[in-house]
A and B are shown apart, each in its own frame.
Chain A
C-alpha cells in the first residue's frame, strides 16, 4: 500500500514536472513587483506573460515553450545586477526590463561585460520601456534592443504637434529631479527653440521625485510666469497631484505629458484633466487594427476589463524574439540578435522595424487628449482604470516620420 502510494506520488510529481522537462526559452523579467512602482511592474509582467502564452498555445517556438521568470528588483539597480546573475544561473539567456532608465543603464553595462567574458553564453537584453535616448546613441550595445520609442522620439512628435498649435506662446518646463526629468527638460527646450523660436520658455523647474504632496506653491509660480502650456515628464502621483493642484488654482494651461495614460493616472486625474492633459505615446487603443483589438479584448477578459495592455512594446519584444528565432532556426542569443536586426513586424498600428544601426524599434507615435467619454460608447476603449474618460486622437506620426538620427557606432561580435 505504502509503496503504491509512493509510486502514485512519484508519477504525479513526474507528470507535474513534465512540461518543464522539455527545452525552454527562458526570459527573465527583472522589474519592480513590490513597493512604489510595483503595480507598473506587475502590469508589464502580465503583458509579457500574455504574449508568451499566445505563442506557446500555437506550439511555442522551434518546438520549445517560452517561459517568463519574474524577478522583483524593487526598482534598484544594485538588486537588478544580483538578479541578472541568478537569472543566468537559471539558464535564462534573455532578460526583459522596462521601469527606470537608471536600472536599464546598469543592466546594459552588466550584460556587455558578461558577454565579453563568457563567449558562447551570451545574454540579450529586451528593453520594453526604459526611454533614455543614450541607450541607442552613445551607449548603444549590440546586446540591447529597445522596443519602446525613446524620450527624444516622443518629444519630437510632441513638439511637432505643438508647433501647429498657434495658441501656444509661453511654455513652462516642469520635471522630476532625476536623469529622465533632466533629459526631457533639455530636449524640450532645444526642440521648441528650433521649431517655434517665437515661443518663450518662461520657466524650467525640477522638483524632488515622488516627495511633493501639495503642488500649489509650484502652480503659483507657473501662474505668475503667465505660461499657457506645461511640458512635463512626470509620472505616477507626481503627475496626478500636479494636474489636481492646477485645477484647484484655476490654472488655464494645457499639460503636455508622457505618462497620463498609464496605470493609476487616469483615475487620479479625473475631471481635473479633461481637455487639458495631452499625452504622447506608442499606444492608442481605439485606432488599433481589428485583429489587435481582438487581442486587447482577450487580454482584458483574462485580467480586468479596465486594464489597458498599453505596454505593447512588451508584446513586440516577445513576438519579435520568437520571429527572430524562427528565422535564425536557433535559440542562440548571438544568432537571434542578428536575426532581430532589421526585423519587421506587424503591430496594431502598422509595421514596426527594429533598426539595425542602433537597435531602436521604429514605430508610429500618437498624441492624444484626455476627454470625457460621452456619449457612452463613443470610445470603444476608455482610459486605463476608468469608464468615464478616454483619449481622443490629436495626431498620428507614422513610423517613418519618427525615426531619429543616431550617433551609435555599433560594435558587433
Chain B
C-alpha cells in the first residue's frame, strides 16, 4: 500500500512535468501544423536563463524573466528564419528546427561550458511539504505540480475564453478568412511560436534546478515530449494532459514491479519501464493514428 501510494504520487508528479514540457509543443503544432524539433532546446535555454537570472536577481523574478526572454528569442527566430523556411514547405521547416536544436546546444557549450551549472532550488521552496508513511514529499514538487496545472487552466482559458484565442483558433483552420477580416496572421503565428517556446522555457526554469542543468538535458527529454504529443493526439491540449499523466503513472508503476518476465534470465518489468512510453506510442499509432484526443490524422 505504501509503495502504491508513493508510486501514484510520483507518477502524477512526473506526468505533470511531462505536460509542462509538451504543452508548448502541442500548442505550436495545433496552431501552425509543424513539429518543432528544437522544442526541448528551448527548455534547456529556459533552465540556463533561469540559472543566470536567479543568481543575479532571484528565483521568483527568473520565473517571469527567463520564459519571456526565451519567448522573445523564439519569436525572433520565427520572424526572421522560420518564416522563410515555412514558405518552402514542411520538410524545410522540420530540417530547420532540427538544425536549430544542434545550434542551440553548441551555443550553450560556448557560453556555459560542457558541465552542469550549480542551479539550485530556492531556500524558500526547499524542504518537505508532507510525509507519506516514511517518505517525504518535497515542497518543490508540489510547486511544480501547481505551475503545471496552472499552465493547463491558463492556456485553456486563453484559447476558449478570449478574443485572442478565438482569432488564433480561427487562423488555424481558415487563415485566409481571418486575414480578410483584417488580422495579421503571420504575426499571430509569431506570437504562438514565441508563446509555445516560452512555455518550454518556463518548464526549464522549474525543471532545471529540480534535475540537472547541463548541455545534454535537451537531448534527454527530446524524444519523450514527442511521445506525449503523439499519444495525446497531435494538436490536442487535453490529450497531451491525459497522455502525460498516463505515461508518468505507467512508467512509475513499472519501475516498482520486480516481476521477472518469463523466458528471460534477468529481465524484469522494472527494467522495461523506460521502453513502455515508446511501446505505447507504437501501439497508439497502429490502433488509433489520431492519438487519444486528436482531431486530425496528421
Binding site for B on A (CB under 8 A): 36, 38-39, 42, 177, 205-208, 210-214, 216-221, 223-224, 237, 240-241, 244, 248-251, 263-264, 267-268, 270, 385-386
* B178 in contact (CB, < 8 A): no
The CA of A237 and the CA of B207, in the complex, are separated in Å by 14
Specify which of A205, A207, A214, A250 lies most central, judged by the most chain B CB atoms within 10 Å of its CB. A214
In order of increasing CB-CB distance, the 8 nearest A-B pairs are A250-B136, A39-B114, A217-B255, A264-B115, A267-B118, A248-B138, A220-B6, A216-B10
Cβ contacts B16-29/A at 8 Å (1 or 0 each): 01000000000000
Binding site for A on B (CB under 8 A): 2-3, 6-7, 10-11, 13-14, 17, 113-118, 120, 128, 131, 134-138, 140-141, 210-212, 214, 216, 219-221, 251-252, 255-256, 270-271, 273-274
Task: Say whether A248 contacts B141, CB under 8 Å.
Answer: yes
Please give, as numbers and ranges, the residues of chain A lying within 8 Å of B131 by CB-CB distance: 250
CB distance from A72 to the nearest CB of B (A): 13
Candidates B3, B134, B271; contact of A177 at CB < 8 Å: B271
The CA of A214 and the CA of B7, in the complex, are separated in Å by 12
Task: Say whether A214 contacts B274, CB under 8 Å.
Answer: no
Task: Say whether A211 contacts B220, CB under 8 Å.
Answer: yes
Quick one: closest B residue to A221, CB to CB?
B256
The CA of A385 and the CA of B116, in the complex, are separated in Å by 10
Task: Please report the number of residue pairs spanning A and B whose Cβ atoms sit closer than 8 angstroms.
Answer: 103
Task: Say whether A268 contacts B271, CB under 8 Å.
Answer: no
Please give, as numbers and ranges, the residues of chain B lying within 8 Å of A208 by CB-CB distance: 271, 274
CB distance from A381 to the nearest CB of B (A): 18
Task: Say whether A244 contacts B211, CB under 8 Å.
Answer: yes
Quick one: closest A residue to B216, CB to CB?
A36
Task: Say whether A270 contacts B118, CB under 8 Å.
Answer: yes
Task: Say whether A385 contacts B115, CB under 8 Å.
Answer: yes
The CA of A218 and the CA of B255, in the complex, are separated in Å by 7
CB distance from B4 to the nearest CB of A (A): 10
SS of A interface (majority): helix
Candidates A42, A219, A237, A386; contact of B114 at CB < 8 Å: A42
Task: Say whether A212 contacts B128, CB under 8 Å.
Answer: no
Task: Say whether B255 contacts A221, CB under 8 Å.
Answer: yes
Q: A42-B114, A241-B211, A268-B116 are in contact. Are A216 and B136 (CB under 8 A)?
A: no
The CA of A386 and the CA of B114, in the complex, are separated in Å by 15
The CA of A136 and the CA of B46, in the complex, are separated in Å by 46
Task: Say whether B118 contacts A212, CB under 8 Å.
Answer: no
Task: Say whether A211 contacts B274, CB under 8 Å.
Answer: yes
Q: A221-B255, A224-B3 are in contact. Are A205 and B211 (CB under 8 A)?
A: no
Please give, as numbers and ranges, the residues of chain A lying within 8 Å of B2 by CB-CB distance: 224
Please give, as numbers and ranges, the residues of chain A lying within 8 Å of B219 by CB-CB distance: 36
Jot down 9 A-B pairs with beta carbons below 8 A, ordered by A: A38-B114, A42-B114, A221-B3, A224-B6, A250-B128, A250-B131, A264-B116, A267-B118, A268-B118
Please give, as numbers and ranges, the residues of chain A lying within 8 Å of B114 by CB-CB distance: 38-39, 42
Please give, as numbers and ranges, the residues of chain A lying within 8 Å of B17 by CB-CB distance: 214
Task: Say whether A216 contacts B256, CB under 8 Å.
Answer: no
The CA of A251 and the CA of B13, in the complex, are separated in Å by 18
The CA of A303 and the CA of B185, in the complex, are separated in Å by 52
Task: Say whether A39 contacts B212, CB under 8 Å.
Answer: no
The CA of A213 and the CA of B256, in the complex, are separated in Å by 16
The CA of A268 and the CA of B209, in the complex, are separated in Å by 9
